[in-house]
């Protein structure tokens, strides 16, 4: 069997400080080729070369044993390569259906290319039915939750029936249920003999659908095989060259008095009458299916979205949080899930990004203490092991994971009493995740309380003292550390209720 896509001695200088070196890889039809590696190891860059966003310096790309020149995204599209990017490529103001059929539209008057929206929607509904995706094809994409968008991206890639499909961390914020959908879609694609290139930091994914695995490290392929039965530790060791004994270094800290109480919180549509509280030094997990209201809840508490009714108490005192300024004054911090839209200043440098919510700390109210800013930046870029070429480059030049780390860093510095982390480890490699968990622990020991919103069950189980499981905007169950278990969480996520346990 000969490869559909073959990379031969691909070299690419990405920046003065990073380059891809002698990449040799083969991809076979009907196979899911899982590509893993720590942050900034070059996964996305390599894919961008295949998808025509970067031009390779040298080396050859073969499709069905014929060499091809890929000089632009259009070229690779022609060949039948499509890519799901780490940052979304969806159009917020347009319907789901239109986004999905963007590249394979239905025309009523073909010659004039007059678009036939009706048939597009019906077809989209069928597709959703087939994979039981519970979305309405006419909904505007901007109204979707993060993971829902991720699903739409996948569906979009699917309808194009590509020869080769690159998925750059498509599952990063999917719960098990949505992951199932994703895997079904991938299986379908396999049946169609597509090549699937699957980038993920979730090792469990790889056992679920991977046929082949390759590991990138500092721009070189250091391991590639068809055998999948590798232990997690082995993989981590291959990726990083280090061993991580414990992936969830949970500390048992005695938590203190109640510092946050949410009473009958009701937002417009998404959720009604939520009641819960948070203790000092506690890590409170919130999980639930895509669109269950996790982020909405966070956004309401942080004062981004308006709340209809309900009260928020800090240290037993009622506070009226009208906007983000209030919440930050009350020492609440919020790491948003969509870092590209509202987490980062992509075209500013690292220090500016990290100090954005911390101006009070580095300025005397009038002027900024540059040296302190620099010092602060350096300590935390080290602490989080953020890999950058140049401290003063735009962070748009950093790898996805490192951008995520920066988004996190600015809130770690902020010394918030309550820190709401919405999917904090999206796109972060296993090794670095451990660092981040350690930092979370450190914050907690220093007296902060954490609300950890995550769709990664292991993370939830591994790190949280208490877990709220949301289902369509209701707390379907509150689980304490003692009786946390995978199955329970899943059951309450889809609300089968106790009797089914």
Ligand X SMILES: Nc1ncnc2c1ncn2[C@@H]1O[C@H](COP(=O)(O)OP(=O)(O)OP(=O)(O)O)[C@@H](O)[C@H]1O
Q: Which of residues 9-48 bind Mg ion (CB under 5 A)?
A: 44
The interface partner of residue 366, options being ligand X, Mg ion, another protein, none and the CB cut-off 5 to 8 Å by kind, is another protein
Q: In angstroms, what CA-CA distances link 430 with 37, 158, 409? A: 9, 28, 17
Nearest residue to ligand X by CB is 401
Is 90 among the residues that bind another protein (CB under 8 A)?
Answer: yes
Tell me if 89 contacts another protein by CB under 8 A: yes
- Residue 486 interacts with, from Mg ion, another protein, ligand X, none (CB under 5-8 Å by kind): none
Cα separation, 275 vs 263, in Å, equals: 5
Q: What's the rounded Cα separation, in Å, for the pair 147 and 153?
A: 10
The residue range among 35-43, 107-115, 248-256, 308-316 that interacts with ligand X, by the rule CB under 6 A, is 35-43
In the complex with ligand X, the residue whose CB is nearer, 259 or 297, is 297
| Smallest separation (angstroms) from ligand X to the CB of 148 | 6
Handedness of CA 172, 173, 174, 175 (dihedral sign): positive
Q: Is 359 in a helix, a strand, or coil?
A: helix
Single out the residue of 113, 488, 444, 437 nearest to residue 256, CA to CA.
444
Does 52 bind ligand X (CB under 6 A)? Our answer is no
- 8 Å CB contact between 479 and 467: yes
Q: How far is it, in rounded angstroms, from Cα 290 to Cα 454?
A: 10
Residue 42 interacts with which of Mg ion, another protein, ligand X, none, CB < 5 to 8 Å by class: ligand X
Find the binding residues for ligand X in span 132-151 (CB under 6 A): 142-148
Which of positions 293-322 make contact with Mg ion (CB under 5 A)?
Answer: 294-295
Backbone torsion region of residue 32, taken as left when φ is above 0, otherwise alpha when ψ lies between -120 and 50, otherwise beta: beta
Distances (CA, A) of 12 to 54, 220, 436: 9, 11, 30
- Residue 294 found at the interface with ligand X (CB under 6 A): yes
Per rule CB under 5 A, is residue 137 in the interface with Mg ion? no
* Range 337-366, binding ligand X (CB under 6 A): 337
Task: For residue 57, give the 3-state DSSP assignment.
Answer: coil
What kind and span of H or E run contains 25?
A: strand 18-27
Which one, 251 or 352, has the nearer CB to another protein?
352
Backbone angles phi, psi at 392, to 5 degrees: -105, 20
Q: Which is nearer to another protein, 61 or 208 (CB)?
A: 61
**Binding residue count for Mg ion, defined by CB under 5 A:** 6
Span 151-180, contacts to another protein by CB under 8 A: none
For residues 251 and 257, what is the distance between their CA atoms, to the nearest angstrom? Answer: 18
- Of 260-299, binders to another protein (CB under 8 A) are 268-269
Task: Tell me: does residue 57 bind another protein (CB under 8 A).
Answer: no
Q: Which of 36, 46, 53, 44 is nearest to 9 (CA)?
A: 46
State the nearest-atom distance from the C-beta of 254 to another protein, in Å: 31
Contact present, 410 and 440 (Cβ < 8 Å): no
Q: Which of 22, 28, 80, 102 binds another protein (CB under 8 A)?
A: 102
Residue span binding another protein (CB under 8 A) among the ranges 186-194, 243-251, 252-260, 333-341? 333-341
Task: Confirm or reject binding of residue 388 to Mg ion (CB under 5 A).
Answer: no
User: By the criterion CB under 6 A, which residues form the site for ligand X?
Assistant: 14-15, 18, 37, 39-45, 86, 142-148, 173, 270, 288, 290-296, 337, 387, 389, 397-402, 427, 429, 455
């Amino acid at each position: 069997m000969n490869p559909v896509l073959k990379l031969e001695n691909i070299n690419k200088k990405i920046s003065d400080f990073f380059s891809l070196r002698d990449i040799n890889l083969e991809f076979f039809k009907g196979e899911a080729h899982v590509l893993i590696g720590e942050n900034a190891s070059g996964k996305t860059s390599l894919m961008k070369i295949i998808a025509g966003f970067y031009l390779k310096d040298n080396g050859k790309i073969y499709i069905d044993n014929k060499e091809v020149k890929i000089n632009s995204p259009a070229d690779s599209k022609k060949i039948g390569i499509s890519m799901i990017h780490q940052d979304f490529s969806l159009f917020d103001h347009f319907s789901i259906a239109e986004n999905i059929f963007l590249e394979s539209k239905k025309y009523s008057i073909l010659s004039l290319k007059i678009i036939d929206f009706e048939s597009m929607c019906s077809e989209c509904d069928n597709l959703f039915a087939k994979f039981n995706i519970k979305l309405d094809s006419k909904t505007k994409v901007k109204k979707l939750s993060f993971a829902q968008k991720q699903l739409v991206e996948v569906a979009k890639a699917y309808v194009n029936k590509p020869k080769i499909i690159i998925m750059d961390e498509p599952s990063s914020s999917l719960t098990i249920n949505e992951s199932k959908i994703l895997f079904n879609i991938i299986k379908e694609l396999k049946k169609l003999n597509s090549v699937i290139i699957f980038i993920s930091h979730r090792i469990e994914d790889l056992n679920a659908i991977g046929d082949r695995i390759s590991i990138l490290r500092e721009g070189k392929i250091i391991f590639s095989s068809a055998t999948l039965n590798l232990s997690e530790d082995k993989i981590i060791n291959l990726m990083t060259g280090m061993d991580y004994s414990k992936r969830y270094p949970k500390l048992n800290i005695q938590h203190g008095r109640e510092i946050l109480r949410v009473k009958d919180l009701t937002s417009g549509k998404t959720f009604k009458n939520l009641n819960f509280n948070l203790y000092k030094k506690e890590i409170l997990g919130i999980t639930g299916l895509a669109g269950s209201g996790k982020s909405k809840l966070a956004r309401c508490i942080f004062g981004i979205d308006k709340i209809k009714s309900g009260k928020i108490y800090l240290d037993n005192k009622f506070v009226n949080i009208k906007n983000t300024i209030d919440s930050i004054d009350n020492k609440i911090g919020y790491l948003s899930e969509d870092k590209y839209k509202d987490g980062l200043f992509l075209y500013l440098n690292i220090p500016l990004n990290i100090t954005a919510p911390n101006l009070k700390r580095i300025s005397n109210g009038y002027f900024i203490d540059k040296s302190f800013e620099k010092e602060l930046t350096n300590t935390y870029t080290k602490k989080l092991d953020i890999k950058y070429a140049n401290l003063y480059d735009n962070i748009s030049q950093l790898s996805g994971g490192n951008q995520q780390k920066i988004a996190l860093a600015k809130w770690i510095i902020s010394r918030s009493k309550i820190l709401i982390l919405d999917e904090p480890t999206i796109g972060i490699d296993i090794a670095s995740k451990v660092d981040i968990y350690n930092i979370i622990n450190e914050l907690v020991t220093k007296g902060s309380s954490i609300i950890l919103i995550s769709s990664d069950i292991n993370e939830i189980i591994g790190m949280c003292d208490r877990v709220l499981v949301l289902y369509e905007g209701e707390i379907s169950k509150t689980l304490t550390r003692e009786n946390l278990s995978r199955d329970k969480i899943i059951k309450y996520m889809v609300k089968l209720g106790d009797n089914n346990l």
